Amino acid sequence: MLLVHDYTKRKLTFGEDGINAISSLFSLMSYSFTGGFIAGLPEMFFNEALLWQPAEPIQRRWSPKDVNNLPSWSWVGWEGELMMDTWLGCWSHLYLDRKSPRQVIPAVSWYFGSTLKERIPVNISGHTYIEYTAE
């Protein structure tokens, strides 16, 4: 989480370098995250990863000449500070000492790909290890 927070505040010379600048870390971290990363979000915790929010007005990392800009739902494609308090609460299942956990209960199925024909289901495997409680 702190890695994401620090990265989004970095000003890159070329916006299209957003994913390239951090892809080596994703490659290394893929050993710990089943399924790897989709546009910077860990596949196994995709629902929680989508819940990032800006703490201030942020700007898009993109280039008019780059046709493969990152999707708007990926934090990698944005520059600015993220709101960490609310986002950390969504990852409470990873922290045993959290006092008031927020549970993210999957309600939809996600897919990714360049076209509808090429779509691949997102395997959110992290939820198989979570014990949900009624509130």
Q: What is the mean pLDDT of residues 43-50?
A: 89
| pLDDT band at 76; cut points 50, 70, 90 | confident
Question: Are 38 and 111 within 8 A, CB to CB?
Answer: no
What's the mean per-residue pLDDT of the chain? 77
Q: What one-character DSSP code corresponds to residue 123?
A: -
- The pTM assigned to this predicted structure is 0.74
**Distance between CA 28 and CA 40 in Å, rounded?**
13
Look up tokens 């800006």; give the residue: 54
Domain ranges of the chain: 2-129
Q: What pLDDT is attached to residue 119?
A: 92
